[in-house]
């Protein structure tokens, strides 16, 4: 068995080139009114490989074994580059901004108020 790691690596690399693109993960660039939005992704990858060996026995028979290789790819949407005329900004995916962020902090705020009142009542 011939092990062709260069060929395997080339095929894996070609696969990553075709699949690890923003249009396959979150879609293509789009317009929303006066805004142009370009999705941005983060790609992480890892590779592993193996080897093989063979021996020739006393009776001219050959025995050998081989191993293979593989790769893993993680693709995550990061956010959007947004342009409006000459202005460019970046909006992170998964981050809460504005009023929504304030509402998300309300339960923590209520808990702090209740804790403070409880402590005040215990000291009086």
The domains of the chain are located at 5-93, 94-124
Cα distances (angstroms) measured from residue 21 to each of 15, 28, 48, 50: 11, 9, 22, 28
Burial class (CB in 10 A: 0-12, 13-18, 19+), 113: exposed
Output the tens digit of pLDDT for each of the chain's 124 residues: 455 667 877 887 787 777 777 666 666 888 888 888 888 888 887 878 788 888 887 777 788 888 777 777 787 888 888 888 888 888 887 766 555 555 566 677 677 777 777 888 887 6
DSSP letter for 58, please.
T
What residues contact 23, with CB distance under 8 A and at least 6 apart? 39
90: its two tokens: 């970046």
């Amino acid at each position: 068995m011939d092990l062709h790691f260069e060929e395997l690596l080339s095929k894996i690399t070609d696969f990553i080139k075709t699949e690890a693109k923003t249009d396959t993960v979150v879609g293509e660039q789009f317009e929303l009114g006066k805004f142009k939005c370009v999705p941005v992704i983060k790609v992480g990858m890892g590779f592993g490989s193996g080897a093989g060996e063979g021996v020739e026995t006393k009776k001219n028979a050959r025995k050998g074994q081989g191993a293979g290789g593989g790769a893993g790819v993680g693709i995550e949407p990061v956010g959007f580059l947004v342009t409006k005329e000459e202005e460019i900004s970046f909006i992170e995916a998964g981050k809460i901004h504005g009023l929504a962020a304030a509402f998300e902090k309300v339960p923590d705020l209520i808990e702090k108020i209740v804790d403070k009142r409880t402590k005040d009542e215990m000291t009086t």
